[in-house]
Amino acid sequence: LMSQSHSSVIDAGLCPGSQEHRKNMTGTADKTTVDLPMIDTVFTEVPDPRHPFGLRGVGESPIVPPPAALANAVHAATGVRLTRLPMSPGAILDALNNRE
């Protein structure tokens, strides 16, 4: 859910100290379970040989794929490649209007 929100509705940027911040907290809402289709989660347990107990993180990995999947879906549907977040409907419309 967090990754979906960050890729499509939350506008984040860099401040002068290079720390991420949200430019605008109004008008944006994180997505909830009612906004997304059912997701089947499958955990594959493969021990990490670099960790003394073989532990691996499970929360960080799912953050990466959704923005790329959304960008590829928009590209496949429109021919426009989006390279900035958020990929909101307005950003998609702007990209369509400004394509060469």
Lowest mean pLDDT among 18-32, 40-54, 69-83: 18-32
pLDDT at 11 over 70: no
What is the CATH classification number for the domain harbouring 50?
3.30.365.10
Task: Write out pLDDT tens, residues 58-82.
Answer: 776 677 788 888 899 999 999 999 9
> pTM for the whole thing?
0.54
- Give the closest residue to 62 by CA, choosing from 80, 36, 82: 36
What residues act catalytically?
Answer: 60
The answer to whether 85 and 2 are in contact (CB under 8 A) is no
How far apart CA 21 and CA 57 sit, in angstroms, is: 25
The answer to whether 20 and 14 are in contact (CB under 8 A) is yes
DSSP run (H or E) holding 21: strand 20-22
Number of domains within the chain? 1
Structural domain for 19, as ranges: 2-98
Two structure tokens written together for 29: 């809402």
pLDDT tier for residue 16 given thresholds of 50, 70 and 90: low
